[in-house]
Structure 1
Amino acid sequence: QQKYAKKFEVARQKFKIIANKKFKETFEIKDIPFLMENLRRKEVYKFDLNKDFVFRNKITDDIILGKLNDIKFIDDISESEQFVITNLKTNQKEFLNSSIYTHFQIDLNETYFLEKKIPLTLIDIDLNRNNHNGNFLIFLDEENNKILKPILKTKLPNSIAFFKNFKEQDIFFKKKGELKISRCIDVLDASEIKGYELILTNFEITKNHEQKHLKYVIDELIIKPKRITLPIHRDRKFRESELQIIKWLINKDLLSYIYLKKPVNNVEIGFIRKINLKPQNIENYHKKTENNDKETLVLKNIFGKEIKIPYNKIELIIFEYTSAMIQIKSETSFSSRLGYKILKKFKPERILIT
């Protein structure tokens, strides 16, 4: 990939000029940065700003350690976005084309549990400009021994700081196919990651109108950070919890991806503005098919247009948040747990399963 990227760099630059000109002529666009601002493109990076990342150049393998401060749009439809970062080694501002840099988040001076499940504290990153294989993540173990891990070969999971930040945040709990919003009251420390405990609010209210707390050890759970998936069921018994999350999305004004039940052109992207939906506990409501047809979701798409989407045409809704979606490990099938284990091996930042 790197070989051909370098070989065709001149051709790529020529193509960019042609594509940019053709795009502006076809769609009568004069100002691409203005277009991107109107599309609220920065929302994609909303939860990444002001965090530290390792940026890797796809072509040269050069590594930069930086804090992501902003996203800058440039007048080039092929490479319209730049990461505005503060280089943590030089303290200088830099602009990186997002199309040629991959990036992953790091938490300096925080604890990580890698393959041997021993707590390691990430204290620094050693960069060698003359040898890409000389770039290392530097950890300290419990006895203050330095441990070096090569950046290009180390798949870094989320740090413990990520899970500690669940405290006082909304969490999405999936149980028996139903997704509900809970609240994380506290996160209790342990010597091993599987021993950490989450204290959550219960979904149900007791007869005395008291809300009990639930305690889960991380070893009991499957945790999927940041990316939340809300399936829309045909069964109306799920309507109340679906309605709760959609109203939460409206209140938070989060960018949402609405997947529709059709083979092509099946994604609408934007911000949910209104939901016309009746909960399932209205007597005989499910028999009134004419009312079902009136159930709609109003979305302001990224082009600024408000569209009505029939609720029964929606497959699922996906959005990102700073917490996670969790489910009880014992309630998932063996094949699902196996799939999650494989995902953890290759992309440990996407899932936590012990």
Structure 2
Amino acid sequence: MSIAIETLVLDWSFITTSIVFAFTLEEFYRFARNNRRSELSDIIAIFFFFILIYFFSKDILTSIMGAFSIYLWIGVFELKDYPVINKILIISLITYNFIFIAGLFSSYFNNPRILNTSFAFSFWMILGLGFLLFGRKYLVVFRFISPQYLTLFLYIIGWLLVVFIDRYTPLNITINIYIVLILTNILIYMASGPLIDKMLGIKRLKSGKLVTQVDGVKKRIGIKKKVKVGFAEYPILNAMAYGAFFDKRIAIIAENIEQIEEDELRGIIAHELAHSKSNHTLILAIITITDLIIRMLVGFPATYYDYAFGDPNVPLLLFILINLGIYTFLYIFVRILEGYADRRAKNAGYKSELAKALYNLESYYASGREIGLNTMLLCEEKITENNKMLDYIETANYINKSLIKPSRASLLSNFLNSHPLTYHRIVAILNDKVSPIKEAFLPFICLRKSKQKKYAKLFEEERMRFKDIANKKFKERFEVNDISGFFKEIKVEEVYEFDIGLSYLFRNKIEGNWIFGKVNSIEITSDITDNHKFRIIDKITGEEKILNSALYEKILVNIEGFYFTGEDSPLKLRKITIDKDEKNGNYIFTDINDNIIKKSINKFKLPYSIDIVKSYEGDLIFFYKNGEISKYKCQSVKKSVDLDDYILTFSENDIENNHEDLEYKINELIIKPNKIQYAFKKNINKNEKEISLLNWLCNENIRTYFYLKKPVNNLEIGYLEQIKININNNSQNDKNSAKYENNTLSIRNIFGESVKISLNDVEFISFKYKTGIVRLKSEISLITSLSYKILNKFRPRRTISHFGKI
């Protein structure tokens, strides 16, 4: 007994489970008190389930699948109002539970093959469930119908054949499974043309506009032999070159071939025919076969099915991780082929056509750009023209900014992608200096900030050319002659109105030079890639300057303001100095003893000044308390260098018979300036504070973003004009009042159209205001508090708060 207890106490998973359980209880307490989960409660729950299952099973894969399968039960219930996402979660839920249950049996019987087999066949479960819930378009949208997946299916047939021969004949050919798989790949390659036509329902075309286009482009690409042309009607926009070297084919996949501009269509066709001309499908087959040969020589498992039918020496989890590394490496070669196809199309004279087509495709898939999941393609509702315009604008802005300073998320997401990033493809097409090999490695190279600056300078001319392409495309597509006039019509200047009158340190993202200036006004441009400029007064030289917003990152500065810099007492910012070359400078602070402290503007991450809250005095603020948002008036701000004496007083005076004065020290609060975001509760009928917020938005004519529970057209931007809330105090109808299908919001959107939205469809709202949202530190969980400490250390300009040292 004592030995068992001692073993238990020394088991790290038991100790970890106990600690995480304590944090989970605290998260549950916060949820019960506020009727809302904290920011990190989902992560805590997943980790708790993971470590609890691991404590019993001692299997990492089973624990991962179990943690997510339990969590997905919650997700399926909570997202029942999202038809498409809910179905996708159901697919994941069934698949994860299938693997999890298999893992439990595997642990109980001490037989890893049960878990391994379930994992190996999980893909086919996803495929089958997707087909049942969405039909054939699920397979097309997620590109499950392709030679690669057909190869996987034939791999199973090959393994079954080998196992049958091995068990029921004197022959032992298990060791020759690699030969069987190699022959399978050859067979798939040879028959890929008719197989894909059959699987995708591609209709062969022998005449018409598309065939004429292909014939014209084919000559310029240099293809003399016949290329079969096909078309498939699906709610996506794609094209593909396929078939063996003796059976070259090309297909366009779209909802309507007429939706593609003729010049863009020529660019797309040129790219696909470049694949055919260079026999890239054959090269891909050779790469796959070479991969199998190397695996055979080193004795590494070929597929997941080796774990279902064979007995590999490599543990499944290790195989998964190594396989990810292998495919990260192999995808480099695939991206190189894509780069060479782009280059051949460019050299054939389709440079601008292909660049324009890529911008159009990126806009089409805008909502699922970085996560690779565009639920719009799985629903019946079609995207409105207004939302298409917003997608084209957002995409142009995204590409322009990415050519200056790409996000790490987009770079990392490309590691396991067969195509280079669109913004890299566009500059490689417009720039003759970027080789396909260099292009394939750019996601790795640009992870370093110094390389980002190098390539931003190199791509400057191509970025300007892309601006011309994007603006021309936008004007043609939406018949907008005056882009700046269009931006003024949708009141873009309102988005940036709170920047006017404030002082910022501006840093050029490419050159690295600093400017310290005060924003005098916002200048709306005629450029969809960068819709505004800052007109500033340089506070060091006194000159007026105009700065392109996309080129600069800005840091809010408050001279003579107090700043928390990790110390218990704040420092006072006296002035800013910038070196002659403008590449560096210093913040000049003084402490409570008037000692001068210098901090480099290149190295020191300046947080928000706590004196920002002084400007809140006498104005409205939004207080997030007990899981609800309330409007309060900031009655007074008592400034002090002593945190215990820096006091804010708030008064809730907009709701009758519910007057409440609140007084807090600055170090008891978390303040997020300007951006207010809030998700309504289900029983808004009984929540006077939420109704009051809606009435205020209506009366103040605030530009508001309404995020809807829809896979498409899920954002309305505009001004709340009327609120219809059915308040029913009859207890017999309480159950019905909790559902607010009859509660509607009437909105005048930025395009001048009147729109009615059911509150049941609103996920959350967001708007900007000159003050901010305030919440109590005492209401956040321990884990959330720790995350704020870490966030404040690495990204201090997210909140006004003081958590002390980590």
> What TM-score do you get using the length of structure 1 for normalisation?
0.91
Residues in 1 aligned to 2:725 and 2:670: alpha-carbon distance in whole angstroms = 31
Residues in 1 aligned to 2:680 and 2:613: alpha-carbon distance in whole angstroms = 28
Worse-superposed segment, 77-86 or 122-131: 122-131
1:164-207 CA distance string (max 9 Å, x none): 2222121212222111111221122333335422212257989x
Count how many residue pairs are aligned between Structure 1 and Structure 2.
351
Residues in 1 aligned to 2:658 and 2:466: alpha-carbon distance in whole angstroms = 64
2:615 aligns with one of 165, 182, 185: 165
Q: Using the TM superposition, give the Cα deviation of residue 17 of structure 1 relative to its aligned residue in structure 2, in angstroms.
A: 1.7
Residues in 2 aligned to 1:281 and 1:336: alpha-carbon distance in whole angstroms = 37
Residues in 2 aligned to 1:146 and 1:174: alpha-carbon distance in whole angstroms = 38
More helix by share: 2
Cα pair 1:112 1:157 within 8 Å, conserved: yes
Mark the CA change 1:92 to 1:37 in structure 2 (over 3 Å): closer, same or farther: same
Q: Are positions 1:135 and 2:585 aligned together?
A: yes
Higher relative CO (Cα under 8 Å, sequence separation at least 6) belongs to 1
Mark the CA change 1:266 to 1:342 in structure 2 (over 3 Å): closer, same or farther: farther
Cα pair 1:127 1:136 within 8 Å, conserved: yes
Q: Which amino acid aligns with 1:146?
A: I
Q: Using the TM superposition, give the Cα deviation of residue 279 of structure 1 relative to its aligned residue in structure 2, in angstroms.
A: 4.1
Q: Which amino acid aligns with 1:244?
A: S
Residues in 2 aligned to 1:168 and 1:131: alpha-carbon distance in whole angstroms = 39
Residues in 1 aligned to 2:556 and 2:735: alpha-carbon distance in whole angstroms = 50
Mark the CA change 1:278 to 1:336 in structure 2 (over 3 Å): closer, same or farther: farther
Residues in 2 aligned to 1:55 and 1:280: alpha-carbon distance in whole angstroms = 53
1:2 aligns with one of 453, 457, 464: 453
Residues in 1 aligned to 2:554 and 2:716: alpha-carbon distance in whole angstroms = 26
Worse-superposed segment, 308-317 or 258-267: 258-267
Corresponding residue for residue 192 of structure 1? 642
Q: Using the TM superposition, give the Cα deviation of residue 285 of structure 1 relative to its aligned residue in structure 2, in angstroms.
A: 4.5
Worse-superposed segment, 323-332 or 88-97: 323-332
Mark the CA change 1:118 to 1:328 in structure 2 (over 3 Å): closer, same or farther: closer
Corresponding residue for residue 597 of structure 2? 147
Mark the CA change 1:40 to 1:25 in structure 2 (over 3 Å): closer, same or farther: same
Q: Which amino acid aligns with 1:189?
A: K
Cα pair 1:236 1:280 within 8 Å, conserved: no
1:272-308 CA distance string (max 9 Å, x none): 1111113464654444579933311112222121211
1:236-267 CA distance string (max 9 Å, x none): 46532111011111222222111112244322
Counting only pairs closer than 5 Å after superposition, residues 27-176 of structure 1 correspond to structure 2 as: 27-130=478-581, 132=583, 134-176=584-626
Corresponding residue for residue 308 of structure 2? none
Worse-superposed segment, 282-291 or 329-338: 282-291
Mark the CA change 1:329 to 1:210 in structure 2 (over 3 Å): closer, same or farther: closer
Q: Using the TM superposition, give the Cα deviation of residue 212 of structure 1 relative to its aligned residue in structure 2, in angstroms.
A: 4.6
Q: Using the TM superposition, give the Cα deviation of residue 310 of structure 1 relative to its aligned residue in structure 2, in angstroms.
A: 0.5
Corresponding residue for residue 110 of structure 2? none
Q: Which amino acid aligns with 2:473?
A: K
1:250 aligns with one of 698, 706, 715: 698
Corresponding residue for residue 272 of structure 1? 720
Unaligned runs of 5+ in 1: none
Q: Which amino acid aligns with 2:569?
A: I
Q: Which amino acid aligns with 1:4?
A: Y
Q: Are positions 1:227 and 2:675 aligned together?
A: yes
Q: Which amino acid aligns with 1:91?
A: G
Q: Are positions 1:340 and 2:788 aligned together?
A: yes
Counting only pairs closer than 5 Å after superposition, residues 178-327 of structure 1 correspond to structure 2 as: 178-193=628-643, 195-202=645-652, 211-236=659-684, 239-279=687-727, 281=729, 284-288=732-736, 292-327=740-775
Q: Which amino acid aligns with 1:84?
A: R
Cα pair 1:62 1:129 within 8 Å, conserved: no
Corresponding residue for residue 325 of structure 2? none
Residues in 2 aligned to 1:289 and 1:159: alpha-carbon distance in whole angstroms = 44
Mark the CA change 1:138 to 1:13 in structure 2 (over 3 Å): closer, same or farther: same
Mark the CA change 1:205 to 1:6 in structure 2 (over 3 Å): closer, same or farther: closer
Q: Using the TM superposition, give the Cα deviation of residue 44 of structure 1 relative to its aligned residue in structure 2, in angstroms.
A: 0.8
Residues in 2 aligned to 1:212 and 1:18: alpha-carbon distance in whole angstroms = 57
Mark the CA change 1:172 to 1:142 in structure 2 (over 3 Å): closer, same or farther: same
Kindly name which structure, 1 or 2, has the bigger radius of gyration based on alpha carbons.
2
1:55-86 CA distance string (max 9 Å, x none): 11100111111111111122222233111111
> What TM-score do you get using the length of structure 2 for normalisation?
0.41
- Report SS of the residue matched to 1:152: coil
Corresponding residue for residue 474 of structure 2? 23
Q: Using the TM superposition, give the Cα deviation of residue 348 of structure 1 relative to its aligned residue in structure 2, in angstroms.
A: 2.0
Q: Which amino acid aligns with 2:490?
A: L
Residues in 2 aligned to 1:171 and 1:151: alpha-carbon distance in whole angstroms = 31
Worse-superposed segment, 20-29 or 41-50: 20-29
Residues in 2 aligned to 1:49 and 1:285: alpha-carbon distance in whole angstroms = 49
Cα pair 1:71 1:83 within 8 Å, conserved: yes
Q: Using the TM superposition, give the Cα deviation of residue 345 of structure 1 relative to its aligned residue in structure 2, in angstroms.
A: 1.9
Residues in 1 aligned to 2:541 and 2:554: alpha-carbon distance in whole angstroms = 18
- Report SS of the residue matched to 2:558: coil
Q: Which amino acid aligns with 1:64?
A: I
Residues in 1 aligned to 2:533 and 2:658: alpha-carbon distance in whole angstroms = 50
Cα pair 2:513 2:581 within 8 Å, conserved: no
Q: CA RMSD in A?
A: 2.4
Q: Using the TM superposition, give the Cα deviation of residue 270 of structure 1 relative to its aligned residue in structure 2, in angstroms.
A: 1.6
Residues in 2 aligned to 1:300 and 1:204: alpha-carbon distance in whole angstroms = 25
Residues in 1 aligned to 2:654 and 2:788: alpha-carbon distance in whole angstroms = 29
Q: Using the TM superposition, give the Cα deviation of residue 96 of structure 1 relative to its aligned residue in structure 2, in angstroms.
A: 0.7
Residues in 1 aligned to 2:692 and 2:728: alpha-carbon distance in whole angstroms = 12
Residues in 1 aligned to 2:580 and 2:502: alpha-carbon distance in whole angstroms = 23
Q: Which amino acid aligns with 2:767?
A: F
- Report SS of the residue matched to 1:46: helix
Cα pair 1:240 1:279 within 8 Å, conserved: no
Residues in 2 aligned to 1:66 and 1:282: alpha-carbon distance in whole angstroms = 59
Identity of aligned residues (%): 38
Mark the CA change 1:83 to 1:128 in structure 2 (over 3 Å): closer, same or farther: same
- Report SS of the residue matched to 2:687: helix
- Report SS of the residue matched to 2:473: helix
- Report SS of the residue matched to 1:274: strand
Mark the CA change 1:210 to 1:99 in structure 2 (over 3 Å): closer, same or farther: closer
More strand by share: 1
